[in-house]
Amino acid sequence: MKVTILALVILMVLAAGCGPAAQETPVATDVQIDLTVEPAPPAAGDATLIITLTESDGTPIDGATVRVHGDMDHEGMTPVDGETDASTNGVYRVPFQWTMGGGWILEVTAVLPDDRGVATETFNLFVEAVSHGSVINQDDEGSGMDMDMGDGEEGNMNMDDSGNMTTDSESGQ
């Protein structure tokens, strides 16, 4: 009796494994994925990834779900993900957070409407560590850093054409 029950259980497990194979999602090769980043150039902090989906003939694709997976080009950093399904004329806006400056690899995946499949594109970007709008990049002349020069006076530290750091007094300003 025990042998019969054991044999029956084994047959049921084997039969369950012999069912139809899961269908793979088709890969859509006739889709163009373009990426623009705001603000440009990309810098650490908040950003919007503007992803445009079009057919090979240029027709916009609406109704897709767009997912972005961002990872730095070195180990040890936590990936950043974003997603949207809202679009206008094939343009999808995905809020994104660059967690630090450096090399980033973005994988954009679009799950197309009407079970047409999935389109994927990889983009390599360099993200600046400090945005152009940062107070570090602001001074009276529009470049360099405001600094206390140690003598109670404020001054600017600038980079000369050779890449050397200079102060206003050293550069004759």
Nearest to 122 by CA among 131, 114, 134, 110: 110
Question: How many folded domains does the chain comprise?
Answer: 2
CA pair distance 66, 55, nearest whole angstrom? 15
CATH number at residue 61: 2.60.40.1940
Res. 25 pLDDT band, cuts 50 70 90: confident
Per 3-state DSSP, the chain is made up of helix, strand and coil in percentages (nearest 5) of 15, 45, 40
92 falls within a domain:
yes
What is this structure's pTM? Answer: 0.65
Q: At which of 108, 127, 146 does a domain end?
A: 127
Look at residue 70 and tell me whether its pLDDT is greater than 60. yes
Per residue in 79-96, pLDDT (tens digit) is 999 999 999 999 999 999
Q: Structural domain of residue 153, as residue ranges?
A: 138-171
How much is the pLDDT for 148? 47
Asked, for residue 5, whether it belongs to a domain, the answer is: no
